[in-house]
């Protein structure tokens, strides 16, 4: 039986896992979890993934959460079923990707996903200064990202796309749901995002973003 991957496609780490899977022949079944309806807290899911977050994965008697753990598990279990550059067997190339992955949660997700959280998932709107402060945090982090991870190379690990880019691009674009497009004033970052879309193929990329774009549209309309 193939692994089941539990996702809500409005979620950045879920889209990163799906991007990797879509560029592989790793056998899998996708099962949808609606986070906005609270499916992640229902016993069917929380008994498998007690962290009650998506993505999740079940493979036989193993069930885990955390996008990075899921990607690493699938890459290790199916090494011949994805183009090597996604998570190279070569130690040095893999180390470059692992360097970004280790940076990712604090360095990118905390500021960027934090902004989405502070705008969309608070009971009362926060004062403008709190939002400005978070936007500043995002910009400081994106400065580091541009300077350290994509200063001389088209992708994080060099000339080819990898799981690091899948994780990064999904955080970079996620703030669009709440009206913040950080690629607007950052040509280097915009080129990077466009390069990933081209490399994946615009059809696949847009398909992965479809539910998120629809959600962004609904949020925008609800504010008018
Ligand atoms: N570090 C986790 C983050 C998972 C996460 O925060 N998922 C969010 C969606 S983006 C979630 O499931 N939220 C539901 C909740 O907190 O109730 C990963 O990379 O998988």
* Residue 82 backbone dihedrals phi, psi, to 5 degrees: -150, 150
In this structure, of 27-31, 82-86, 119-123, 161-165, the range with the lowest mean pLDDT score is: 119-123
CA distances from residue 119 to 123, 178, 187, 218 in whole angstroms, order as listed = 10, 7, 25, 15
Three-class secondary structure of residue 68 per DSSP = helix
* Cα of 54 from ligand 1 centre, angstroms: 5
| pLDDT for residue 84 is more than 80 | yes
* Cα of 51 from ligand 1 centre, angstroms: 9
pLDDT of residue 8: 98
pLDDT of residue 219: 87
Other Cβ atoms less than 10 A from the Cβ of 43: the count is 7
- Tens digits of per-residue pLDDT, 123-142? 999 999 999 999 999 999 99
| pLDDT for residue 224 is more than 80 | no
Q: From atom 11 of ligand 1, which residue's Cα is the shortest distance away? A: 53
* Cα of 53 from ligand 1 centre, angstroms: 4
* Cα-based torsion angle of the residue sequence 73, 75, 81, 83 in order, rounded to the nearest 10 degrees: 160
Q: From atom 1 of ligand 1, which residue's Cα is the shortest distance away? A: 66
pLDDT of residue 221: 87
Q: Span 103-132, mean pLDDT?
A: 96
* Cα of 22 from ligand 1 centre, angstroms: 20
Q: Span 91-106, mean pLDDT?
A: 97
Pocket test for ligand 1, best of 6, 7, 10, 11 (most atoms within 8 A of CB): 11
- Tens digits of per-residue pLDDT, 174-221? 999 999 999 999 999 999 999 999 999 999 999 999 999 999 899 888
| pLDDT for residue 222 is more than 90 | no
pLDDT of residue 223: 77
All structural domains of the chain = 4-82 (3.40.30.10), 86-223 (1.20.1050.10)
Ligand 1: atom nearest CA of 53 is 12
* Cα of 90 from ligand 1 centre, angstroms: 30
Per-residue burial over 21-35, b = 16 or more CB atoms within 10 Å of its CB, e = otherwise: bbbbebebeeeebeb
Pocket test for ligand 1, best of 13, 19, 64 (most atoms within 8 A of CB): 13
pLDDT of residue 13: 98
Average of per-residue pLDDT values in the chain: 97
The binding-site residues of ligand 1, defined as CB within 6 angstroms of any ligand atom, are: 11-13, 35, 40, 52-55, 66-67, 105
- What's the rounded Cα separation, in Å, for the pair 33 and 17? 14
* Cα of 149 from ligand 1 centre, angstroms: 24
pLDDT of residue 182: 98
Which residues have CB under 8 Å from 106's CB, separation 6+? none
- Which helix (H) or strand (E) covers residue 193, if one does? helix 187-200
| pLDDT for residue 49 is more than 90 | yes
Ligand 1: atom nearest CA of 67 is 20
């Amino acid at each position: 039986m193939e692994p089941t991957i539990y996702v809500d496609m409005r979620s950045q780490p879920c889209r990163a896992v799906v991007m990797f899977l879509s560029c592989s022949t790793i056998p899998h079944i996708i099962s949808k979890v609606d986070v906005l309806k609270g499916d992640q807290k229902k016993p069917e899911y929380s008994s498998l993934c007690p962290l009650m977050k998506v993505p999740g994965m079940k493979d036989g008697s193993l069930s885990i959460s955390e996008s990075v753990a899921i990607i690493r598990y699938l890459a290790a279990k199916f090494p011949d079923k994805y183009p090597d550059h996604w998570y190279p067997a070569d130690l040095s190339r893999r180390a470059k990707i692992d360097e970004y992955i280790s940076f990712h949660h604090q360095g990118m997700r905390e500021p960027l996903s934090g902004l989405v959280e502070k705008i969309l998932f608070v009971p009362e709107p926060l004062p403008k200064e709190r939002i400005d402060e978070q936007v500043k945090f995002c910009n400081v982090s994106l400065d580091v990202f541009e300077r350290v991870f994509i200063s001389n190379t088209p992708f994080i690990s060099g000339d080819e796309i990898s799981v690091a880019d899948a994780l990064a691009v999904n955080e970079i674009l996620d703030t669009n749901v709440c009206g913040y497009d950080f690629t607007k004033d950052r040509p280097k970052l915009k080129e990077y995002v466009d390069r990933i879309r081209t490399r994946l193929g615009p059809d696949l990329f847009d398909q992965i973003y479809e539910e998120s774009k629809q959600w962004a549209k609904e949020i925008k309309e609800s504010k008018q």
